[in-house]
Amino acid sequence: MRDVAVIGVGCTTFGEKWSESFRDLFIEAGALALEDAHLSGEKIDAMYVGNMSAGRFIEQEHNGALIADYAGMATRHIPSTRVEAACASGGLAFRQAVIAVASGMEDIVVAAGVEKMTDVEPGATTDALAGAADREWEGFVGATFPGLYAMIARDYMHKYSMTREQLAQVAVKNHYNGARNPIAQYQQEITIDTVLRSTMVADPLRLFDCSPITDGAAAVILAPMSRAREFTDTPIKVLATAQASDSIALHDRRDISTLDATVAASQRAFKMAKLTHKDINMVEVHDCFSIAEICAIEDLGFCKKGTAGKFTADGETALGGRIPVNTSGGLKACGHPVGATGIKQVCEIVQQLRGTAGKRQIDGAKIGMTHNVGGTGATVAVHILGRV
């Protein structure tokens, strides 16, 4: 297997982008990534695109070909593949691209993610998202995504001593980071009161515990390490790629408030990279809901089960804390265009490792991790990236 490097990254701003279409978004992200890699489109050998539900959001399938076409690659007939795993689509697209380069099959590969979520009315958007859970036996009886994560939160708070205020601190911290990220959907700081006074969505989760509906795209360019310095002075090495699956329905899990797929994927990633959680300088985790970040930092091994509420309230996951979590603002503040999120996480870690993360920069960052979840934990992708 060859070593693989990220040689370019690009990300649109995230938000409700009424004036921009699905096509506008991925072209912008792709162009930014190519520019960043000092590369022209003719050098690209293959593309993998993470997208959850363009079929529902813009009534368009066959997006691998569409994107190749509008990115000007169709005349060269390069292979372009759409990858779908609900909210983990981006993480899996990245992993497929890494595997393609590592195998020696392809050299210069684009991994991208795109989601245009605001071209249908909000009810249709949330219904499409509910397809990430078990439609027949969860959605049919009235389960919503906030509802499923609320059941995780209640199980967690029943078993461990986390306060509602500690849970709210996840959103407060992520908004603080988002306020320092020029691409973030929400660049305003909030307080614990903002969270506790927001509308109840699914008890105990309130509006400010939930990530928003977002339009956006992100792209990264991969090359074999042996060629990376042809394009950049700061290649970032992919130290590990790992993926795990679990039951599609939350009710079939071994433990409601542990994402076993996160545990499995992180163990595989640490083994592949020959590292432990102590070696990681910062991590982008999948905080689709505040409780998801609490479970993630425990299941990835950064603190013991049942202690992440206090760990967060003590500032250990803040900028300058023991393990900064979601320096980008996470899904909560940076936004969550579902298929793009896994790629945006890689973009953020690459910026941190290059030392170009501006006001969010972690001093001396050498190794970073990404954690991307599909549904309530039926798919998890974990990657570790390092400076060379």
Catalytic one of 175, 286, 336, 371 = 336
141 binding another protein? (CB under 8 A): yes
Phi/psi at 149 (nearest 5 deg)? -70, -30
Under the binding rule (CB under 8 A), the answer on residue 310 touching another protein is no
254 binds another protein (CB under 8 A): no
By CB under 8 A, residue 378 contacts another protein: no
Least separation in angstroms between residue 19's CB and another protein is 28
Binding positions for another protein, 204-223, rule CB under 8 A: 204-205
Q: Could you tell me whether strands 367-374 and 379-387 are parallel, antiparallel, or unpaired per DSSP bridges?
A: antiparallel
Nearest residue to 21 (alpha-carbon basis) of 243, 244, 217, 223: 217
249 binds another protein (CB under 8 A): yes
Of the candidate residues 16, 104, 140, 197, the single one contacting another protein (CB under 8 A): 140
Q: Which of 138, 246, 293, 298 binds another protein (CB under 8 A)?
A: 138
Element (H, E) at 370: strand 367-374
28 phi and psi angles, rounded to 5 deg: -65, -50
CB of 263 to another protein, least distance (A): 19
Q: Is residue 42 close enough to count as binding another protein by CB under 8 A?
A: no
Strand-pair category, 46-50 with 109-115: parallel
CB atoms within 10 A of CB 141: 8
Which residues are paired to 369 by β-bridges?
A: 283, 384
Q: Which of 134, 209, 284, 316 binds another protein (CB under 8 A)?
A: 134
Cis peptide bond prior to 324, omega within 30° of 0: no
Residue number with CB closer to another protein (29 or 205): 205
How far is CA 299 from its chain centroid? 16
Residue 254 vs 278, nearer CB to another protein: 254
Interface with another protein, residue 152, by CB under 8 A: yes
336 tagged catalytic: yes
- Per-residue 3-state assignment (H helix, E strand, C coil) for 298-338: HHCCCCCCCCHHHHHHCCCCCCCCCCCECCCCHHHHHCCCH
Tell me, yes or no, if 277 is annotated catalytic: no
Q: C-beta of 37: minimal distance to another protein in Å? A: 43
The burial of 198, by beta-carbon neighbours within 10 Å (0-12 exposed, 13-18 middle, 19 or more buried), is given as middle
- Binding interface with another protein (CB under 8 A): 123, 126-127, 130, 134, 136-138, 140-144, 146-147, 150-152, 154-155, 158, 199-205, 249-252, 256
Catalytic residues: 87, 336
